[in-house]
Structure 1
Amino acid sequence: MVHGNTKGSKRAPTRSPSLEQGSSEQIPKKPRMMSEPWDETLPSEDELTPSTVSDKPEASGNTGDNELDGKEPALIPGQIAPDAFQTYDWVTETKKERLRTFLNYEDAVNVRYAVCKVPPDAGWGTSGAAAKTWRHNGEAVTIWIPGICATKWFVDIKGVLPNRVNIGVMPLRDMDNEAALKLLRLCEPSQEPKAGPIYAGKLMSQWVKDDTKPAIMPFTEIYDAREKFRQKKLMRRLPQTTIGHGDIVLIECNLTRFKTAETKDKPEWTEWHTVFELISVCLLEEAPTGTPLPVVTAVKDATDISL
């Protein structure tokens, strides 16, 4: 169970949100974590492929339209003890059983895995744009991280779209947190991540014809999976304001890398940072009003995870 300070106002879980523009919600400034993008060392706009344009081939199966063949993951009962969850009192055993399906998901055909199930023989691509992503059998690995929303940054405090969006989650189990940290340690030289949420971000700049500078696009890949998870084209899109602190969400992302400022002009990969690049956010469970915010717990060893 998660403990913490009771959050303030939050919408009732029974409401039906409609599509709207971003929020001007003020989010407290937080210390930079290793899992966050390092803005001061990011490549320039003309060097970094905008995150609004995927570098994955159409045949990769990761577009989301064939996702799970339109079905929620099959239940895998009994694999995880109920008390292994870092969640809330309102998360019933029935809800935990559903969450287990996401925590243990493996889809080799579409190269889609829960964070603790990423194949141990995956590795960085070898050439071109593929070299930026963690891949398996030639395809970019799509990583699922179910967790509690601890922080979000889809708009700035003035309601202006940021150049890069972020969401930070507290994974539901220690083993998932450790699996995510092990992936982030795949930077060169290796660095030890700090305690805190696991962040996924996305560069939202996009060049538009005849414009003199990149346009900042809104992040719209937010879906309602509270009742049922299915193909994205069959799920309702949600406004950015729907996701609240304390909600249980499914973060879908790729592990990507970018060269350090000192090596960005070199053709070979010698030094780089690693980040989770955000693909989508699915709302799995909405926290009731008054739910306490999550706090960081000590990371336990997970010796059964090998990456």
Structure 2
Amino acid sequence: MKPVPATMTAIGFDTPGGPDVLRPEILPVPTPGSGQVLVRVACAGVNRPDVIQRQGFYPPPPGASPVPGLEIAGQVVATGAGVTSPFLGQIVCALVAGGGYAEYCLAEAALCLPVPEGLPLDQAAALPETLFTVWHNVFERGWATEGERVLVHGGTSGIGTMAILLGKLFGLEVLVTCGGPEKCAAALALGAAHAIDYKASDFVAEVARITGGLGVHLVLDMVAGDYVARNLKCLTDDGRHVTIAVQGGVRAEINMAEVMRRRITLTGSTLRPRSNEFKGLLADEIHQTVWPLVIDGQLRPVMDVAFPLHEAAAAHARMEAGTHVGKIVLTVA
């Protein structure tokens, strides 16, 4: 392995703003603490929370790097105290609380997953954030089980495409909403059972038509706001509503008598601020349950465009434009 330098290039910003505030900077290479590893980053995933952080609305949790980036893939080049497995030299991907847009990044050893032979590192870097998020919120918080119907908003986003892929692998009937016929076609090609163009039709009426009035068992919601009341109309009795983002606003007005009468469960989560202990348990479950599907090639992320690290601003502009299908990544090495 190459020696680890004292400094590295990372992407930062001085004040919140548009994509153009992102710029390369020179920072010290971090030193791994107890339970941590240092990864020489080959690729880093770009996610909506990175955009929200850059806009000034999603600060990193205490102790996390202020550098954006929540998922990486690369080679472990140093380990901290208490890391007993033979991590040094391994190629891994990892969920991180920040710091991914850089040549080197700290990761909790417990949140690293081994990159199987044959999986390109850009695809490896595109897995952790959406895989952890969808698995936890659809299967753990949402209790999705084989044969159930799930409605996913933003069907061609990174989260949406992962929900389609996992749903297909685990026996769910996935309905998605997308903006336009081309995105609907892309979602159907990935394995969505039905794709609803929310710009051309009312998704509530379409869900009722598609399901014969039965509704869906689970809604994975990234919009919130006035979508919540509409989502509830799509649910069966005993249905579950899981919110993971609030792109449509943080407030919703709903009929709580309907929630009681139909025994609807309302929940939601954010993954980034959860404890390392929690995320480690989630990583263990994913490693045992889902990672075999990655190893044998059944699960691969849907890839959009890769940008060099120094073009992070262009990557953010593409995400904000909403034209992407699947994951945007940065290539570092």
- Larger RCO (alpha carbons 8 Å, 6+ apart): 1
TM bracket (short chain): under 0.3
TM norm structure 2: 0.23
Rg larger for = 2
TM norm structure 1: 0.24
